[in-house]
Every structure is written in C-alpha cells, then in structure tokens.
Amino acid sequence: MPTTARWAATLTLTATAVCGPLTGTALAAPGNAPSGLYAPSALVLTVGHGHSAAGVTPERAVTLNCAPTASGTHPAATQACAELQGADGDFDALTVRDGVVCTKQFDPVVVTVDGVWQGKRVSYERTFANECVKSSYGTTVFTF
C-alpha cells in the first residue's frame, strides 16, 4: 500500500474504530479537551540504512513530545513540533526545502515514526534515496 494510503487508512481506522467503554474520547480531539487535559503527542523516530523498515536495523532513534510542551531527544524538538503542527501531523505533507542540493547517490534510508499525534496512533515509514534527501524534507522533523 502506498505510504499516503496507509497513513490515511491508519487515521481513518483510528478515528472510526475508537472505542466502546472509553469516556475520554474528547481527549483526542484538539480543542475539545477539558481544561487541564490535552491530547497526547509522543513519538519515536528512527532511521536506518535500507529499503523498508521490516529489514532495517534502526541506527538512530529519538523521541519527540509535543504536548503539553516540546521536549525529547530530537535535536530540534521545538521546531519539529511547530512544523508538525503546521502540517497537521501529516508527515507526507512535509515537502522539500528550497535551495537544498543533494547528490543522486542511491544509498536508501528508512525513517519510521511511531507513537501518538494529538491522541491518534501513528505508524509511518518513508524511504529516501539517501541521508541528504531525507534531511531536505521539511525543516527539522527528519533531521536527527
């Protein structure tokens, strides 16, 4: 399944399948949260050399929390959270920065993102032709 479709499917499943005995659904709806509560946003991002996450050993992994405040081992947590807010949590919406020039060397890297974004589960993976290309998407999210 293409990454975009998988992402859309994940969001749809999460949104529709959400659950019987759960009383705190509003937690997952930003803006609906009762005072003092917030929808959690906590992610682990990994990167490894290879074609797909299934066969790749993560070489680096960082955490990124975006609620209630930005933190984590991501080297630019505050900016990364702002960027994801701007993209409404859609990792596929992060586009190439202007002015970045990368070689066409094919040495693929796979980025994975797992966890929760504003109360919805995230399971994302994306393959880039090389490290330079990876880090040229968005401003900081994939730069770790």
Q: Provide the binding-site residues for a copy of itself, judged by CB under 8 A.
A: 13-14, 17-25, 27-28, 40-44, 46, 48-50, 53-65, 71-73, 107-108, 112, 114-116, 119-121, 123
Nearer to a copy of itself, 1 or 106 (CB): 106
Nearer to a copy of itself, 13 or 95 (CB): 13
Distance, CA of 46 to CA of 61 (rounded, Å): 4
Nearer to a copy of itself, 48 or 79 (CB): 48
| C-alpha angle 93-95-96 in degrees, rounded to nearest 5 | 170
118 burial type by CB count under 10 A (0-12 exposed, 13-18 middle, 19+ buried): buried
Nearer to a copy of itself, 95 or 123 (CB): 123
CB of 104 to a copy of itself, least distance (A): 15
* Structure-block tokens of residue 70: 């930005």
Phi and psi torsions of 133, nearest 5°: -60, -45
Quick one: which of 92, 83, 86, 77 has its CA closest to 122?
92
